[in-house]
Amino acid sequence: MRNAVTQSAWLRPIVLVVSAAAASLVTFLVPDTPVRPAITLWFLLICPGLALIPLFHLDDLIAEGVLCLTLSLAVDELSPRSWVSASVARSSRLRLHSP
């Protein structure tokens, strides 16, 4: 059974916003900080899945955690692939029409 903290409607959005702010801070403003890898890894491994978890309406906290990590890894894998595919398609389209 879940406690009141995990059922809070504001917990996920607050974690996502604070994580995004921290990742942006260590990436753009203070890139030489020693905690940059940990914050970036947290952001990449947790945040994409955490944003998608409410769509599944799960009641088990362990299942949510496992699904959060799995979804995050899937989103992290698919994003660069789609960018590469789009740039390859765009460059091949440009080569076909150039003289």
In terms of pLDDT, which residue wins out, 46 or 84? 46
Res. 83: pLDDT tops 90: no
Tokens representing 69 are 């990590």
Residue pair 42/51 in contact by the 8 Å Cβ criterion:
no
- Asked whether residue 1 is domain-assigned, the answer is no
- Domain assignment present for 82: yes
Number of domains in the chain: 1
92 pLDDT band (50/70/90 cuts)?
low
The pLDDT value given to residue 79: 84
* Lowest pLDDT segment from 9-18, 23-32, 60-69, 83-92: 83-92
Q: Is 4 part of a structural domain of the chain?
A: no
- For the question of whether the overall pTM of this predicted structure is more than 0.95, the answer is no
Answer yes or no: is 6 within a domain: no
For residue 64, pLDDT beyond 50: yes
**pLDDT tens, residue by residue, 9-57:** 889 999 999 999 999 999 999 999 999 999 999 999 999 999 999 999 9
Let me know if residue 68 belongs to a domain: yes
Alpha helix locations (H) across the chain? 11-24, 36-52, 61-97
Boundaries of domain holding 62:
11-97
Q: Is residue 86 part of a domain?
A: yes
Joined together, the tokens standing for residue 3 give 């406690």
pLDDT cut 70: percent of the chain above it: 81
In a domain, 67, yes or no: yes
